[in-house]
Structure 1
Amino acid sequence: MIHKTSWIWDDRFLRHNTGKIQYVFEGGETVEPCDEFENKHRMNVIKEMIEKSGLVHHLVRQSPYEASDEDLLRVHTKNHIGHVQKACEAETREVGPEAYASAETEGIARLSAGAVMKAVDTVMESETISKVYAQIRPPGHHASSDQAMGFCFYNNVAVGAAYAIEHYGLKRVAILDWDVHHGNGTQDIFYERDDVLVISIHEEDYFPLESGQVYEIGQGKGEGYNVNIPVPSLTGDEGYQYVFESIIAPVISQFEPELIIISAGQDANALDPISRLMVTREGFKYMANKVRELAETYCEGRLIVAQEGGYNLAYLPIATMGVIEGLTGVDVNWKDPHVLPHRTTPTALFQAVDNVVNYQKRFWKFAEKESFC
């Protein structure tokens, strides 16, 4: 069955310029070996794959709008917004730790956040479209309420979730972050709230080093509504499937969200330069398909996939193809030239996941069911 899906895209996303990677030595000598990992070419190859694979014929093209100050203030401080604006106006390159900008970045960041809001409008108001792929940049999940970080300026999915709650009156929104890096900004924003469930599966002890631990489970009303799943290197497709079946699906089933938003960084892919998790197109297809099934069961199919990371220009479009295949139910008749031989998931992964389940079951208190495992 093919599921009607929106594709949100705007050529203006290409105007956000992160510049070159820079190595500065004593005396001021600089080496600039290549473009920053987060660059416009990522968007071009994804767009080209969508168009030339035939997926475009199964998608409904939509345009985003810019988030206003009111929209951003639902999750960000006034000082943060002002800092990003002033830094971009002054053409300051590094707005926050590893958050590289250009003069046009602030406006494009508003467009990226607004794209997720447009996706919310679509799934809440359309009678025929309940699924959206938002191809956006800059990404957002490292941006906290008052800090730009890691290529991120405004937290796109957080802006969208808060908008859905305030504008459409939703009581329960689930955010699933499968970017290879911990979604520390999203965690920070919703850490004391019980109306947004935040789940992050990410490579353990990676980036940011100080966040993403299993014991970070939320605080106050939010205790139990923040679930971190740090997984070891080489986890792969089989390991991700085990995580989804053992933790992610049961937790979402208990929470019974009215909307699911995915922070979809395809940087866990097997060829990514800053990841070691070895997930393939088939793994991403499985994940998107699984969450689509959960959305159809619990929230009338309402599912938004918002692009985050993914930095290998050869495999990012393939991994994203897998996501869109799982989201739409369309199988593209094309063989992945980078298919890996079957490999066994490390035994340590299964033990690690079981430990997460056993630890966090004490805090999963948003349902009356005693057990789901």
Structure 2
Amino acid sequence: MTTGFFWAEHCFWQSGGNYAGNTPVGGFVQPLAAGGLPENPEGKRRLKNLLDVSGLSDDLQMSTAVALPRQDLELVHDTAYLDRFEQMSREGGGEIGLRAPFGPDGYPIAALSAGLAAAAVDAVLVGQMRNSYALSRPPGHHCSAELPSGFCLLNNIAIAVVRARSEGRVGRVAILDWDVHHGNGTEAIFYAEPEVLTVSMHQERNFPLATGSSADRGEGAGEGANLNIPLPSGAGHTTWLEALDRIALPAIRRFEPDLIVVACGYDAGLIDPLGRMLCTAQTFREMARRTVALADDICGGRFVAVHEGGYSEVYVPFCGHAVLEEMSGSAIGAPDPFAATFHARQPGPRFEAFASGLIAEMAEAAGLP
């Protein structure tokens, strides 16, 4: 079995209309692409292009999908929200939530993005592929059942997971989110669900400001099935791997899922404009390697990565290529052109000791040795 790569050209055509984001426009400030949105197609398009140029595409099973029908979206999202989204889409788009603008055809493109995630999950669960990667756009992890935000219009991973579970194709699922921003939408959707473990590693108080506390552990039957790992600004390779090894992966092992899904954002990368972290392509390579190995060990290798954030157009492709090398076991590489420079810019031992203390406190609170 091979590693699947699900993508669709139409997802690159998602736009924010004329939205200018948080960047001032006018005077000496030149307007940015995609209406000023940091979430634009280039990082993801360039990842696909890099796979083709390096030859790694030949070692992947390149696939696509179709837009999910309304009934699948309603498994997660409120009917009133979907009605409003569809209507606004027909009328040319607009801003439907906090930092959630979209242009013409926003609804069908978002349904296609969710379709890529769902197809990637399905392919792994039926044994068609060893593992899979969905190049979904727009992203999804900030979108709750009724409230889109942070460029996210539908929760791609939640829809794929709930759909698979409702059809009896999977039982327990662990969702690991290593995007630099807290996966608040995914957390909210599964907050009372004991059969879905949600783990979010993120920069503390980046976006959203009011969510992502390590004290938030779920509620009701789902108490203990939510785990947040907020990391201090400036954390780099060593700290992210320590948090993964000491908290995230042991929690997933303890949960014993049938499937691991990663919300695979690259905005913890060192030069990302929306994060203040110091991760490198090697960081993402190691996180993928260790998580894939855990999947091999505890759930028959069933592992799916769904692309989330990442806003450095030049660096995201190298981070994604590294993840896909590990997923596929391919010997085809794309050397990180920033490796030497970024290694020199990692935090010093005093910072790492401070961060390690925070990780130890969170591990103890989560009941992990």
The reply to whether TM is greater than 0.5 is yes
Kindly indicate whether the alpha-carbon contact (under 8 Å) linking 1:54 and 1:332 is maintained by their aligned counterparts in 2: yes
- CA displacement at 1:298 relative to structure 2: 1.4
Name 1:91's counterpart in structure 2.
92
For residues 23 and 263 of structure 1, do their structure 2 counterparts lie closer, same or farther at Cα, with a shift above 3 Å needed? Answer: closer
Q: Secondary structure at the match of 1:6?
A: strand
Matching residue's letter, 1:119: A
Q: Secondary structure at the match of 1:355?
A: helix
Distance in 1 between residues matched to 2:14 and 2:21, nearest whole Å: 21
- Higher mean Cα deviation, 135-144 or 91-100? 91-100
- CA displacement at 1:84 relative to structure 2: 1.1
Aligned length: 359
For residues 23 and 334 of structure 1, do their structure 2 counterparts lie closer, same or farther at Cα, with a shift above 3 Å needed? Answer: closer
Q: 1:12 aligns with which of 10, 13, 25?
A: 10
Name 1:50's counterpart in structure 2.
51
Kindly indicate whether the alpha-carbon contact (under 8 Å) linking 2:100 and 2:152 is maintained by their aligned counterparts in 1: yes
Q: Secondary structure at the match of 2:229?
A: strand
Name 1:369's counterpart in structure 2.
none
Matching residue's letter, 1:350: S
Name 2:167's counterpart in structure 1.
167
Counterpart mapping for 1:53-132 below 5 A: 53-127=54-128, 129-132=129-132
Distance in 2 between residues matched to 1:168 and 1:24, nearest whole Å: 43
- CA displacement at 1:306 relative to structure 2: 0.4
For residues 155 and 333 of structure 1, do their structure 2 counterparts lie closer, same or farther at Cα, with a shift above 3 Å needed? Answer: closer
Note the alpha carbon deviations across 1:158-210, whole angstroms, 9 max, x for none.
00110121113422001011110000000000000001000000000110001
Q: 2:362 aligns with which of 332, 337, 356?
A: 356
Distance in 2 between residues matched to 1:254 and 1:314, nearest whole Å: 37
Distance in 2 between residues matched to 1:262 and 1:37, nearest whole Å: 22
Q: Secondary structure at the match of 2:267?
A: helix
Note the alpha carbon deviations across 1:238-264, whole angstroms, 9 max, x for none.
111101110111111111110111110
For residues 19 and 356 of structure 1, do their structure 2 counterparts lie closer, same or farther at Cα, with a shift above 3 Å needed? Answer: same
Distance in 2 between residues matched to 1:24 and 1:242, nearest whole Å: 33
Distance in 1 between residues matched to 2:319 and 2:332, nearest whole Å: 12
Q: Secondary structure at the match of 1:96?
A: coil
Structure 2 residues not aligned, in runs of 5+:
none
Name 1:245's counterpart in structure 2.
245
Structure 1 residues not aligned, in runs of 5+:
362-371
Q: Secondary structure at the match of 2:176?
A: strand
Matching residue's letter, 1:17: S
Name 2:39's counterpart in structure 1.
38
Counterpart mapping for 1:217-366 below 5 A: 217-339=217-339, 340-342=342-344, 343=346, 344=348, 346=351, 347-361=353-367
Name 1:366's counterpart in structure 2.
none
Q: Secondary structure at the match of 2:202?
A: strand
Matching residue's letter, 1:120: V
Counterpart mapping for 1:144-223 below 5 A: 144-223=144-223
Matching residue's letter, 2:9: D
- CA displacement at 1:330 relative to structure 2: 2.3
Q: Secondary structure at the match of 1:306?
A: strand
Q: Secondary structure at the match of 2:305?
A: strand
- CA displacement at 1:23 relative to structure 2: 7.1
Kindly indicate whether the alpha-carbon contact (under 8 Å) linking 1:20 and 1:33 is maintained by their aligned counterparts in 2: no
- CA displacement at 1:119 relative to structure 2: 1.1
Q: Secondary structure at the match of 1:249?
A: helix
Report the TM-score when normalising by structure 2.
Answer: 0.93
- CA displacement at 1:222 relative to structure 2: 0.6
User: For the aligned residues, what is the CA RMSD?
Assistant: 2.1
Matching residue's letter, 1:80: Y
Identity over the aligned pairs, expressed in percent?
Answer: 33
Distance in 1 between residues matched to 2:286 and 2:22, nearest whole Å: 42
Distance in 2 between residues matched to 1:169 and 1:23, nearest whole Å: 40
Distance in 1 between residues matched to 2:292 and 2:235, nearest whole Å: 22
